[in-house]
Structures are given as C-alpha cells and as structure tokens.
Amino acid sequence: MSQKFQSTVHHRGDVAYVKLSGVIDEDNELADLNDKIPEGTVIIDLGDVERINSCGVRDWVNWLSRVEQGNTNVVLVECSPAIVAQINLVNNFTGNGAVKSFYVPYFCPECDEEKVLLVETADMGPPPHEPPTCRCDECDLVMDFDDMPDSYFAFLANQTHLAQPEHINEVLSEFSGDSEKSRIRSRVSGTASVSSASISSLPSVPSLPSISRTGITGAGGHLPGSLSTGSFNQLGSSPGSFAGSADSLPGPFTTADRPPLPQPKSGLMVYILVGFLLAVILVLAILLFSSK
C-alpha cells in the first residue's frame, strides 16, 4: 500500500524547507502549509513523492500559485520521476520556480536492478541532454536509462536561473541529510498504483537471460542446438545445470566428450540368437549325415 500524503516544514532564517512524501491526490493537505511558509524562499523536497494524480496536480498548481503570491521564491529539489513526468506534461507545474535537482531512472538488464540517480540541473549543460553514467551496485556494469532522453529532459529547456545557490545548499545540507549517501537509492519504496501520471516511475520489465544456439555439427564437432559457453553464466538455478561462469567450463561440448550410450540388454534377444545358432548347426548336421 502506498504511503499517504505527509509533510514536514523547517525554517532557517528567511528560508523554509518543506519535505513532501507519499501520494499527492485528492486527500492532500497542501492548503494547510500556507501559514507555515513565510516570505523569502521555500525549498520543496519532492524526492519521496511516489505518485500524483490529476486531482493532486490541480491542487498542487493552485497551491504553488498562492505560495508565489506571498513574495516567496520556490526551489524544487530531488524531484522524483513521477514529478518529472508532470513537469513535462503540465506547463505551469513549477510556476515561476526553479528545479535544482531531480532523479534519473535506470535499470540493469543483467541483474534486473533498478536505481535512480540524483542529478543537479546545473550539471546537465546545454541541449541535447544525455543521461549521466550510472553503474549497478550488484554487477558494476553500466545501467540503461529507463526513459527517452528527449522527453524526460525536455523541461530543462525552460529552467530559470537559481538565485543564491550557496545559501540553498547550506539549508539542504542541514535538513536533507547526507547527500553522498542519498545520491543512489531504490527507485520506488512500496507499491504504487498504476496511473498515467506515474508511468515513468514504474519498474521496468526485467529482461530474460539470452540463450544462444550453435548451428548444425560442422568441422568443429559441435552438437546441433547445443548451448554456447557464454550462456552458462545465466544458468545454475535448476537441478543438474552448470553453476558459475563460462570460464569455469572446460570448453565447448563435442561428440568426443559424450559418454558412450548404454547398450540395451535383453534376455529375450539372447535366447533368440542362441536358438537360431542351434537351428543352423542342426541343419548342417542333417545335411552332412544324409550325404554319406
């Protein structure tokens, strides 16, 4: 079950730090935050927002408009993939605010690991924007970007300049925790229900291990339809299969490696053969004695 809407507010001078989490839907309590946000700057942390539906988008846009009417500058940080999807879909989703940082989704086709990487908007540079490199924690391979770059990074073309970034970073370091530990984390905490507003935040379909087959037996003596050695690193979970990597195998299977097939042993066949031999000897003996 997805966590319902939650919010916390902290103040440091003329800067308010607002942490939102859970689901922003028709049961949100955004209106209750108006009196807690004074004039100055408000930093809205959206990293733990799992989903936002159409009613939540409507209330969010209205609430953000009221916040900005109070001479408050809005800075959005750690925007989750669900929030990035809405930023790209709704023109006034960020109002006059700026996106300082956002999460980029990745997946690993080798071990089905899913991660999000925290990226600073200022580090993305000019278009065309490409996803930064992200490595898998399990296999250390480079992970695949789990979206389309042109659509996911489209909002960067309309970003406003962030004023006083040093002051913003000081407040974030105080209230958002250890930034180094939070740069890479699990993509989705809990199970979020499916909606068109959160397609980009859903887990990708895990890829299946590839099994290659060799051709018909040639000069090398490979068996028809035999598995190549490169595919054995995906096996090992079923009884009788080879565990470990392909390097631990002695080499490709050939006809010479096959153990001899056991020959069928039937007592009936032995009796028939002995009877046939006795019959032949008897016929030869009759012919021999009749000729004398």
pLDDT at residue 5 in the model: 92
d(C-alpha 89, C-alpha 257), whole Å? 61
Domains annotated on the chain, with CATH: 6-201 (3.30.750.24)
Per-residue pLDDT tens for 43-85? 999 999 999 999 999 999 999 999 999 889 999 999 999 999 9
Distances in Å between the alpha carbon of 277 and those of 171, 225, 282, 283, 291? Answer: 103, 44, 9, 10, 22
pTM score over 0.85 = no
Q: Are 145 and 107 in contact (CB under 8 A)?
A: no
Predicted local distance difference test score (pLDDT) of residue 223: 38
pLDDT of 120 over the 60 cut: yes
In 140-172, which positions are buried (b, 16+ CB within 10 angstroms) versus exposed (e)? eeebbbbbeeeebbbbbeebeebeeeeebeebb
Strand order in the sheet with 98-99: 6-12, 15-24, 40-52, 72-77, 98-99
Q: Which amino acid is at 67?
A: V
pLDDT the model gives residue 160: 76
